[in-house]
Chain A
Amino acid sequence: MLQKQAAVKKSATKTAARSGAATKKPATVMLVATRKGAWLLHGDDSRRSWRVDGPHFLGHVIHHLVLDPRDGRTLLAAAKTGHLGPTVFRSTDRGRTWKEAAKPPAFVKKDDGSGRSVDHTFWLTPAHANEPNVWYAGTSPQGLFRSEDGGVTWAPFSHINDDPQYLEWFGTVQDGTPDGPKMHSIIVDPRDPKHLYFGLSGGGVHESTDGGASFHTLLDGLEVVEGFPKDNPATHDPHCIRMCPSNPDRLYQQNHCGIYRIDRPATRWERIGTKMPKKVGDIGFNMVVHPRNDNVAWVLPMDGQTVWPRTSPEGKPAVYGTRNGGRTWQRLDLGMPREQAWWTVKRQAMCADGGDPVGLYFGTTSGELWASRDEGASWKCIARGLPEIYAVESGTLG
């Protein structure tokens, strides 16, 4: 299916200013995936003004929209509608036109009735720089898939989708998040394409050092909900895992039970969220790392008390940042609402760009896109009126 999209459409996002210099080459592009479509926001060189392009796929649930950093022009969108099955759309012209994957991620058919069905593709990861056209996808329910042709056709990857042990760890739909159990945070080591990580909600953190031929768990040090056994991966719920580009041995993790860091080859996660203010806590979904400094990371905490309302703590949202690997945290909320802002930010909806200083971005459950040009010191809402934001990614168009 080919969907031609208008290059630029006026939208309800009135606060997103149009670039005054239309001939300038856009520097940063923000890829915003929402419950009802996708938007691209093209920044000017200073990242002060943004040109809105969208909606794309209006009415589709877009769980992830990712630009291939290896060519700067290929985009993949994980899509479904409330009524139709899941698919992946692909653009090779920076989002001007889209074509549906010929073979979207799908589990193997089982004649005995035990087979699973992909409800939606949740996570997309471009593979190693030396593996052009290779992508990984994580699905709900949990499944790992790989494409070797730029996202046109997808096949189950590794043994785990049908492995009895993994099926036990995946649990049932009732064991997963409200929108279905998910595979996420598929990470490829930039030094070694065979070194992979992924997270399962629920099901824990997993690593392969042999290109997916085998995986092992990486759970030591992680807390679980009180009453659950820690030694069962099914009870572990990593929300978002990020590898530091400047030091691939260091990973940060926002977990259902705290914020963690690990420095490989160590195998034990250290809970660094205990240094967060007690009244805020260290519960949330997102995790962002600095592209050039492995001591710098950010989170946007969620109210983790009692019933988990999935709002900002006390209705006062803030990003918290560390510049020393998690020993201390600073509240970064200049420009954000001071009160009565009951939104929060999903695990894929916060990211950093590669600028200097780094730009930070997050999209809210109430459809606002916020940006910081100074590594979180100050914030500005650059778009509002969007549907519930599911994912925010940054990229640079080639």
Chain B
Amino acid sequence: MKVLIPSPLRSYTAGQRWVEAEGHTLGAVLDDLDRRYAGIRFRMIDEQETMRRHIRFFVNGAQTFDLALPLRDSDELTIVQALSGG
């Protein structure tokens, strides 16, 4: 499926905005992203499998907080970095 990478994480994807990843759940897609771009997952998901505070995931435009959410190859995953601070 197509995955939109937010700008702070594009150093992992050689600057690519859109990348491809595979998996039947959101967590599995993130695992696949990490196989392709080592280290990227831990910047978004902590060691207790919790989404980091300012990272948001949208599947076909709908926000989800569920890493077990089933996904299909035709889905589009958007990763967003919420803005905050100064």
Which B residues are in CB contact (< 8 Å) with A87? 39, 42-43
B11 CB within 8 Å of chain A? yes
A interface, size bucket: 20 to 34
B50 to chain A, nearest CB (A): 7
CB distance A1 to B82 under 8 Å?
no
Q: A106 with B42: in contact, given A85-B52, A115-B47, A118-B47 (CB under 8 Å)?
A: yes
CB distance B82 to A83 under 8 Å?
yes
CB distance B8 to A110 under 8 Å?
no
B55 CB within 8 Å of chain A? yes
B38 CB within 8 Å of chain A? yes
Q: A117 with B12: in contact, given A83-B55, A85-B52 (CB under 8 Å)?
A: no
**Assembled-state Cα–Cα distance A116/B50 (Å):** 10
Contact of A82 among B12, B48, B84 (CB under 8 A): B84
**Assembled-state Cα–Cα distance A115/B82 (Å):** 25
CB distance B39 to A102 under 8 Å?
yes
Q: A82 with B47: in contact, given A1-B11, A104-B42 (CB under 8 Å)?
A: no
Q: A107 with B9: in contact, given A85-B42, A87-B39 (CB under 8 Å)?
A: no
CB distance A84 to B85 under 8 Å?
no
Which B residues are in CB contact (< 8 Å) with A109? 47-49
CB distance A83 to B42 under 8 Å?
no
CB distance B48 to A117 under 8 Å?
yes
Which A residues are in CB contact (< 8 Å) with B52? 83-85
CB distance A84 to B49 under 8 Å?
no
Which A residues are in CB contact (< 8 Å) with B44? 84-85
**Assembled-state Cα–Cα distance A373/B57 (Å):** 53
Chain B 42-77 interface residues, beta-carbon cutoff 8 Å to A: 42-50, 52-55
Name which residue of chain B comes closest to A60, CB basis. Answer: B8
Name which residue of chain A comes closest to B39, CB basis. Answer: A100
Which A residues are in CB contact (< 8 Å) with B11? 1, 3
Contact of A83 among B12, B47, B81 (CB under 8 A): B81
Which A residues are in CB contact (< 8 Å) with B55? 83-84
CB distance B47 to A1 under 8 Å?
no
CB distance B9 to A85 under 8 Å?
no
A81 CB within 8 Å of chain B? yes
CB distance A115 to B48 under 8 Å?
yes
CB distance B8 to A83 under 8 Å?
yes
B10 to chain A, nearest CB (A): 10
**Assembled-state Cα–Cα distance A353/B45 (Å):** 39
Which A residues are in CB contact (< 8 Å) with B84? 82-83
Can you offer 5 A-B residue contacts whose CB atoms are under 8 A? Answer: A1-B11, A1-B12, A85-B52, A87-B42, A108-B47
Q: Show the binding face of B for A, using Cβ within 8 Å.
A: 8-9, 11-12, 38-39, 42-50, 52-55, 81-82, 84-85
- Other A-B contacts than A83-B81, A83-B84, 14 sampled, CB-CB below 8 A, are A3-B11, A81-B8, A83-B53, A83-B55, A84-B43, A84-B81, A85-B52, A101-B39, A106-B42, A109-B49, A115-B47, A115-B48, A117-B50, A118-B46
